[in-house]
Structure 1
Amino acid sequence: MTLDKPDMSNFRVIVLLAVDDTEYSEYAFNWYRDFVHRPENFLVLLHCTEHDNQELRDASPGRTKTMIVELTERMRFIEDKFGQLMQRSGISGRIQRGGGKPGEAIIKAAVEEGASMIVTGTRGLGKIKRTFLGSVSDYVAHHSPVPVIICRKTCKSSE
């Protein structure tokens, strides 16, 4: 699928915002909208489909079909949700799909799009979980050629 790039010559700042189907991404979008967005900005929302190619290769034809349907539905949900958020907020931009390891895909897309900054959420994993699972936001912060804003959603304690 080839996506035509819209004419962005009228925009001074291109912002890449990484999204998925979690509350952390919605928080990052809302934070960007409330504190960073300017009318001249162009927002590229990137969502990555991380899947295990080995699992797809090893799966039966029926399971492979199910996995593809689930992945397609998830992508459609993300695109619909964030497309509506952009429209309601009056934000100019587009949604782009990326593939592979999310951190690498985010950096690659930022370079290809000529982004001035990257905005991403974080799940707030502890040190041990980050060590074993890896952290997309850590990877992006350490490998990005442009400034990165990491939006951390904090939990409010109930009093």
Structure 2
Amino acid sequence: MATAAGEEKPVMIVGMDTSDHSTYALEWTLDHFFVPYAPNPPFRLFVFYAKHSSPYRYMEPFALPIVDSHLKQVAAGVMERAEQICLSKSVTGARFKVVDGDPRLVLCDAVDKHAASVLVVGNHGYGAIKRAILGSVSDYCAHHAHCTVMIAKKPKIKKAKSASPV
């Protein structure tokens, strides 16, 4: 996509996974950076999913094709959901990519490869202990990606306080 001056538009990458948090991040991005500017958004959009590799060394050989097939189905489902979200908001021209590897590294590599200006990721809202054990893709990207990183946090739904009996 070229701009009026013939220059390429900057690239925006959205990282997806199987969570509602990444779905929220994609929807938020589309609503704020693409829908208001249709049909001429200010960015080229790439949506990435990092497909985890099978833990080959720890598996029985007969299970490898089954696990690989499942991982491919999950990746296809995530990308299909992302495409449907884009279509539901009339956003066209997005590119969808599945890459094998650790999500943190996949996203930072994608930023470098595509010279992205912005990376958008969701946030699971893990506490300090869970984040220390599981790691945090958003935290890693915020510290290592060579571009602006936006962390789209899904708002917490506050429970309504019930009226106390008098």
TM-score when normalising by structure 1 = 0.87
Q: Distance in 2 between matches of 1:76 and 1:98?
A: 12
Aligned equivalent of 1:97: 98
Q: Distance in 1 between matches of 2:152 and 2:30?
A: 12
Larger Rg: 2
Deviates more, 1:60-69 or 1:139-148: 60-69
Verify the 8 A CA contact 2:25 2:152 in the aligned structure 1.
yes
The verdict on how the C-alpha distance between 1:133 and 1:14 changes in structure 2, with shifts beyond 3 A counting, is: same
Aligned equivalent of 2:126: 125
Q: Distance in 1 between matches of 2:2 and 2:135?
A: 37
Q: Name which of 11, 14, 20 aligns with 2:11.
A: 14
**Matched AA of 2:44:** F
Shift in Å, 1:9: 3.2
Q: Distance in 2 between matches of 1:142 and 1:97?
A: 23
Identity of aligned residues (%): 26
Shift in Å, 1:154: 2.4
Unaligned runs of 5+ in 1: 1-7
Aligned equivalent of 2:23: 26
**Matched AA of 2:2:** S
Shift in Å, 1:131: 1.2
Structure 1 segments, 4+ long, off by >6 Å, are none
Deviations 1:61-99 (A, max 9, x none): 321111011011101101111112112222221101122
Q: Name which of 46, 49, 52 aligns with 2:51.
A: 49
Aligned equivalent of 2:32: 35
How many residues get paired? 150
Unaligned runs of 5+ in 2: 161-166
Q: Distance in 2 between matches of 1:78 and 1:132?
A: 25
Deviates more, 1:132-141 or 1:8-17: 8-17
**Matched AA of 2:151:** I
Q: Distance in 2 between matches of 1:111 and 1:123?
A: 24
Deviations 1:12-53 (A, max 9, x none): 22100000121011100111111233424211000001235x
Verify the 8 A CA contact 2:52 2:71 in the aligned structure 1.
no
Correspondence 1:87 to 2:87? yes
Structure 1 vs Structure 2 CA RMSD: 1.5
TM-score when normalising by structure 2 = 0.84
